[in-house]
């Protein structure tokens, strides 16, 4: 059989087009010039992406896609990388634009805190009223905890916080054009030196104290990490020091846990006590660079640190002084988790890392990193000067040390109260907070912020410290205590907290991303599906990557266990 031959016809030659522009949005020359002017001579490094985004957002009140494209070109990054970081953080207003015009947002944003302490202080009515009385040039948004729970309700006008906010006070702040909080009175560098500050650091650097004696003193004092995890501070220093150099250090002042404001309290009053502890820690582990991560809701603290760090550099108490880089958060609760904070410092989305390896082994930029909460370092000077026995001698019921309790809610005297470890909630209210507010009867309390669980007033004799609350399904965390009265309900508190967890989940792992949303849906109904909630709680605890998802079920589980009467159930045995 004759085979049919099919001729091959060559395609007509075509002229290959050379791509003159990269794929994606073309960079507007005007936008590129604006971005370059804003960045000035700042390094064009990948890890400074969030700092550069802040410059644009502060200047224009938004992040238009034309500026994002220009920034991507300036940093040599893909536009998708820049966009995914910009859209991850709450405080960046990303808006789309076309080649002719940019769809803008209101020139001024007012954020109203709707976390639990502010909610029970009247934030919902404040939010509704502001939306009525402020004009179209002001955008009013709900916001998570701003770290000023003792001043509830709180609003933020631009970068100016309004404490104990009323509609009239917020409107006055808007009309006066105050958009930046100014630092108040605090112990500055000169005053701190006059009071004997940095003498301890000099003793360490000049060989009058050795590293082993310093670390041993911290271990003997029983000082533990005061950001929530409670890992022994001296043991952490020793572990990082044992890793091969170069080593780095990171300080966490993100403080996003609802109910927590102790770091702000101390930073606004005595910043150099913390900085001296920081420099001693850097000396002990041999870190040449320290990164300080400060939450964006603390503009006054940022102004203090910028000013005092410059004074420290201009007149260093020791030489050489480690480099201290101040990094600005952008509104993400998840960045309080140590590995998520490290991702953010590196200019990425704040997503927790899988462990091992641990931060002490592979942390910032792949190097061994000592990560500490602000308050932990704040106590270093006192412990070393007064002795480990001084710190350990404080405590009740066999507990050791001092705890800075951030107390908010229905008490007469909210605020930061320095009290012995092991104190009970009843003693804290009676001895430090001047009792309950007029007309309010103690009903319930949260011993450790949003994720620390909820306990009834009848359980008012539990020592408040690390490891004492776990048998009850709670923990102390950063010692953020929120006090509820009989005007409140545990169910209402659980709904508020679960809404917060849903909004703040980074979305990386399914148990947390889906679990928080599903839990909120279930507890928003009049009748709770208890079997499904227990199942969901177990999955979130077992399979979530980080503490957000693992601890998010705590408020719901506590309502079921300790407040069954609110659900119309018989009380469970404890």
The answer to whether residues 261 and 149 touch, using CB atoms and an 8 Å cutoff, is yes
- The Cα 524–Cα 82 span in angstroms is 36
Residue carrying structure tokens 């849906």:
521
- The Cα 80–Cα 72 span in angstroms is 9
- State the average pLDDT over residues 323-349: 97
Share of the chain above pLDDT 90, in %: 87
258-274 confidence digits (pLDDT tens) = 999 999 999 999 999 99
184-243 confidence digits (pLDDT tens) = 799 999 999 999 999 999 999 999 999 999 999 999 999 999 988 889 999 999 999 999
- The Cα 344–Cα 332 span in angstroms is 10
- State the average pLDDT over residues 523-536: 97
Of the listed ranges 13-17, 375-379, 489-493, 526-530, the one predicted with least confidence? 13-17
pLDDT of residue 228: 85
- The Cα 92–Cα 106 span in angstroms is 13
- State the average pLDDT over residues 53-81: 95
User: Nearest 5 degrees, angle CA 471-CA 473-CA 477?
Assistant: 100
Q: Any idea what DSSP says for residue 255?
A: -
373-424 confidence digits (pLDDT tens) = 999 999 999 999 999 999 999 999 999 999 999 999 999 999 999 999 999 9
Q: How are beta strands 369-373 and 247-253 bridged, if at all?
A: parallel
pLDDT over threshold 60, residue 14: no
pLDDT of residue 411: 98
Residue 569 phi/psi, 5° resolution?
Answer: -115, 165
151-194 confidence digits (pLDDT tens) = 999 999 988 999 999 999 999 999 887 556 666 799 999 999 99
pLDDT of residue 51: 98
C-alpha distances in Å from residue 173, one per residue of 96, 134, 558: 30, 11, 40
| Strand stretches in 136-258, DSSP E | 138-143, 155-157, 160-162, 247-253
Burial class (CB in 10 A: 0-12, 13-18, 19+), 333: buried
Of residues 200, 283, 268, the one with CA closest to residue 237: 283
């Amino acid at each position: 059989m004759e085979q049919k031959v099919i001729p091959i016809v060559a395609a007509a030659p075509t002229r290959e087009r050379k791509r003159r522009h990269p794929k994606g949005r073309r960079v507007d020359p005007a936008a590129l010039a604006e971005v370059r002017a804003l960045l000035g001579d700042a390094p064009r490094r990948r890890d400074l992406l969030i700092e550069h985004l802040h410059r644009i957002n502060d200047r224009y009140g938004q992040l238009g896609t034309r500026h994002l494209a220009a920034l991507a070109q300036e940093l040599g990054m893909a536009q998708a990388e820049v966009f995914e970081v910009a859209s991850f953080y709450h405080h960046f207003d990303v808006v789309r634009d076309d080649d002719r015009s940019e769809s803008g947002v209101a020139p001024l944003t007012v954020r109203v805190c709707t976390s639990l302490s502010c909610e029970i202080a009247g934030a919902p009515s404040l939010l509704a009223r502001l939306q009525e009385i402020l004009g179209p040039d002001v955008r009013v948004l709900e916001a998570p905890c701003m770290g000023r729970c003792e001043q509830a309700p709180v609003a933020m006008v631009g970068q100016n916080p309004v404490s104990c906010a009323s509609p009239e006070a917020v409107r006055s702040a808007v009309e006066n054009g105050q958009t930046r909080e100014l630092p108040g009175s605090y112990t500055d560098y000169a005053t701190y030196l006059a009071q004997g500050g940095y003498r301890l650091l000099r003793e360490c650097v000049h060989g009058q104290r050795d590293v082993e004696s310093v670390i041993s003193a911290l271990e003997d004092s029983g000082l533990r990490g005061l950001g929530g995890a409670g890992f022994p501070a001296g043991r952490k220093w020793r572990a990082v020091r044992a890793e091969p150099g170069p080593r780095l250090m990171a300080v966490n002042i993100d403080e996003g846990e609802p109910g927590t404001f102790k770091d702000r309290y101390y930073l606004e009053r005595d910043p150099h006590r913390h900085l001296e502890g920081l420099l001693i820690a850097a000396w002990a582990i041999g870190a040449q660079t320290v990164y300080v991560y400060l939450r964006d809701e603390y503009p006054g603290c940022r102004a203090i640190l910028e000013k005092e760090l410059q004074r420290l550099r201009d007149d260093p108490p020791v030489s050489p002084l480690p480099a201290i880089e101040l990094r600005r958060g952008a509104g993400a609760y998840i960045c309080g988790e140590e590995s998520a904070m490290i991702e953010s410092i590196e200019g990425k989305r704040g997503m927790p890392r899988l462990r091992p390896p641990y931060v002490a082994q592979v942390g910032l930029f792949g190097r061994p990193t000592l990560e500490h909460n602000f308050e932990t370092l704040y106590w270093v000077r006192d412990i070393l000067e007064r002795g480990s026995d001084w710190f350990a001698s404080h405590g009740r019921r066999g507990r050791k040390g001092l705890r800075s309790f951030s107390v908010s809610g229905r008490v007469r005297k909210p605020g930061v109260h320095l009290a012995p470890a092991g104190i009970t909630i009843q003693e804290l209210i009676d001895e430090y907070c001047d009792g309950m507010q007029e007309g309010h009867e103690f009903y319930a309390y949260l011993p450790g912020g949003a994720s620390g669980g909820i306990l009834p007033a009848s359980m008012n004799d539990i020592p408040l410290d690390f490891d004492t609350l776990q048998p009850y399904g709670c923990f102390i965390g950063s010692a953020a205590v929120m006090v509820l009265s009989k005007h409140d309900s545990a169910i209402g508190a659980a709904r508020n907290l679960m809404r917060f967890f849903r909004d703040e989940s980074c979305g990386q792992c399914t148990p947390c991303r889906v679990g928080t949303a599903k839990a909120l849906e279930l507890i928003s109904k009049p009748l709770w599906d208890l079997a499904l909630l227990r199942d969901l709680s177990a999955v979130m605890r077992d399979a979530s990557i980080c503490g957000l998802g693992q601890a998010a079920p705590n408020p719901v589980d506590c309502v079921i266990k300790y407040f069954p009467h609110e659900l119309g159930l018989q009380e469970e045995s404890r």
